[in-house]
Structure 1
Amino acid sequence: MDIKDSVAVVTGGASGIGAALARRFAADGARNVVVVDRDLAKAQSVADEVGGVAECIDVTDAAAVNGLVERTIARDGAIDLFCSNAGITTGVALDDPDDLWHRAFEVNTMAHVYAARAVLPAMLERGRGYLLQTASAAGLLTSPGDAPYAVTKHGAVAFAEWLSVTYGAQGIGVSVLCPMGVSTPLLMDPLAAGEPGAQAVAASGEILTAEQVADTVAAGLAEERFLILPHPQVGTFWAQKASDPDRWLAGVRRLVNR
């Protein structure tokens, strides 16, 4: 995936990892970067900074995502890279309100489905295109203290795998981004509140900046790696989990209890 002269769409682009991706793509020579967020003012600020276009949509609204794709293709001719980056945490467990579970599924899993449905037909017609889906280390491991987050991020990883298997031979590249601790409000706010899951993440490795994550993404896209792991130890943890699930689960329990 060559960013130079490409058209890239980034959802959740007004802050955090999304904003860092938009800046990095622009710096690497993207022809246009479409910064998508529910907060239009912040999206416009990032778009102005990178010389891109701001769009205000809800990624859980399939019709709105279709409109975003149609407008972008009408204006720019194509979408080369679609980054489904928007995500939420809930901080809830088993017995908490169903609406938070459903919202997590809509944002963290179904938004990837809506984006793929909207953008793949044009990519397949051209015979090329790339999907970058932001999941989380929680999608490979787990997320103590946030059951919906763990479950929906696993779903996001599984969907990315399915896309790669189904469309990889038709010119469609797929990468899934699985960072651990990143210095964004998604982690830092729960960490400041003493949320157990956030504390477990902070205890598991370095908290990276969003810019460091964007650097790893740029390298991963250039190499067309499926798994993009800003924290390399996530791959080690994942392998340990697969080789001995009982031992891995016992280790996570000890980490959380500590």
Structure 2
Amino acid sequence: MQISNQVVLVTGGGKGIGEALAIKASQQSPRVVIVADRDQSFAESVAARCESVAEAICCDVCVPTDLAKLTNHITERYGSIDIVFSNAGATAKGGLETSLEDWNKLWQINVLSHVELARLTIPHMAQKGSGAFIVTASAAGVLTEIGSLAYSVTKHGSLAIAEWLSVHYRRQGVQLHCLCPAGVATDFLDLDDPIHQFLHMSALTAEQVAEAAFEAIELNRFLVLPHKEVLEFFQFKTQDYDRWLHNFSRVQERLAKLASKNQS
């Protein structure tokens, strides 16, 4: 699918991967790029740097009425929504001690926001027989996130949503993609955290991740793995699940010892 002359929506577009996706989309002659973010000033800053027509809209994807207002505005003003980057996401550190508040927050933004945005856009794409919906998940969705139980679970959920949508809508002309990067040089990386220090060693820029996403859209490839090592780990996981778990537990043990050493 080509971006030219399409109406493109990017949620979580005010910074990080979303910012890079919006800028990249603007370079490919779209009809318009909609930069949606819960922080209006961030969205406006990105829209101002887009190389084509762009509009900044304040939207909290965790609020269904916000998403309904967003999609209604776009369709009323521009006639359709052709390409959706369902990109907003959040993380929280911790394992079994993670609070219910954090679980609910991550469940809402990393899982249910994709469902609600898909509900509001994909049936229209299917009706006209074309469109693309891209879910930003994470390498944690195909592997795991050692430092966050809630992030791992909800990003597995993000991947599951994209898979289900692909099964149900690809034969109706809708492209589905799931973007699963590992470490990305954005505010998500906390360099005081040994686990994030580990991810930083192989981190890509947000622009490199966006490049991989647009290549996948052009080639209609579902799973987008910008980090080559993630594909290797994923293949190893499917070949020998128990050995993969054993090896990851060893990594976790080393990182836990490093964290303990840093705290002492």
TM-score range relative to shorter protein = over 0.9
Matches within 5 A, 1:27-66: 27-50=27-50, 51-66=53-68
Please name the residue that 2:13 is paired with.
Answer: 13
Unaligned runs of 5+ in 1: none
Contact 2:185/2:200 (8 A) holds in 1: no
Q: Which of the residues 206, 211, 226 maps onto 1:230?
A: 226
Contact 2:177/2:224 (8 A) holds in 1: yes
Q: Which moved more, 1:62-71 or 1:100-109?
A: 62-71
Contact 1:14/1:42 (8 A) holds in 2: yes
SS of structure 1 residue aligned to 2:188: helix
Q: TM-score scaled to structure 1, two decimals?
A: 0.95
> Partners of 2:173 and 2:103 in 1: how far apart?
34
Q: Which moved more, 1:10-19 or 1:123-132?
A: 123-132
Please name the residue that 2:262 is paired with.
Answer: none
Structure 1 outlier segments of 4+, above 6 Å: none
- Once the two structures are TM-superposed, the CA of residue 131 in structure 1 deviates from its matched residue by 0.2
Matched, 1:213 2:209: yes
Superposed CA deviations along residues 6-55 of structure 1, whole A, max 9, x for unmatched, are 11000010001000000000011111000000110110111121130011
Unaligned runs of 5+ in 2: 255-264
Contact 1:200/1:255 (8 A) holds in 2: no
> Partners of 2:214 and 2:9 in 1: how far apart?
15
Aligned length: 252
Q: Which of the residues 137, 140, 150 maps onto 1:135?
A: 137
What letter is aligned with 1:216? A
> Partners of 1:200 and 1:152 in 2: how far apart?
21
Superposed CA deviations along residues 193-230 of structure 1, whole A, max 9, x for unmatched, are 22x43234335xx2100011111111111001100111
Matches within 5 A, 1:132-171: 132-171=134-173
Identity fraction in percent: 42
Please name the residue that 2:192 is paired with.
Answer: 193
TM-align CA RMSD: 1.1
